[in-house]
């Protein structure tokens, strides 16, 4: 437990950030799952629409510092690659 005023404040700040990061990460994961499910069902239009929604969500999560910017870039790249592959197959 925190015994100093500064340590108590740091603890409060950490808790607020943890909740904020969790919300951002959950929002991002939901957007990614929407793309995954659209790809799994084979709905091209839905997959493209979900990808266009997911890309800014992932970028915002990275800009807030919840995930690293290269992690975000890798996620976007892999999702885009999967959607493009699905479109090419059709």
Tell me what the mean pLDDT of segment 43-71 comes to. Answer: 97
Q: Distance of CA 24 to CAs 42, 50, 51, 54, Å?
A: 28, 17, 17, 12
Kindly report the pTM of this predicted structure.
0.90
The domain limits of the chain are: 5-89
pLDDT over 80 at 1, yes or no: no
Tell me what the mean pLDDT of segment 46-75 comes to. Answer: 98
Query: Are 49 and 87 spatial neighbours (Cβ–Cβ below 8 Å)?
Result: no
Query: Residue 37, Cα to own-chain centre: how many angstroms?
Result: 15
pLDDT over 90 at 84, yes or no: yes
pLDDT over 80 at 71, yes or no: yes
- Listed in sequence order, the DSSP H helices in the chain are 5-41, 44-63, 69-89
What 1-6 contacts at long range (C-beta under 8 Å, 24+ apart), as own/partner pairs, is none
Q: What is the mean pLDDT of the chain?
A: 96
Out of 3.30.2010.10, 3.40.50.880, 3.40.50.920, 1.20.58.110, which CATH number does the structure's domain 5-89 have? 1.20.58.110
């Amino acid at each position: 437990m925190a015994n100093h005023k500064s340590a108590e404040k740091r603890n409060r700040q950490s808790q607020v950030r943890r909740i904020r990061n969790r919300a951002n990460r959950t929002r991002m994961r939901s957007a990614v799952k929407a793309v995954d499910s659209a790809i799994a069902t084979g709905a091209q239009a839905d997959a493209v629409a979900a990808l266009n929604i997911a890309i800014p969500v992932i970028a915002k999560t990275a800009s807030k510092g919840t995930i690293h910017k290269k992690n975000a870039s890798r996620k976007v790249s892999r999702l885009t690659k999967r959607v493009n592959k699905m479109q090419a197959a059709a």
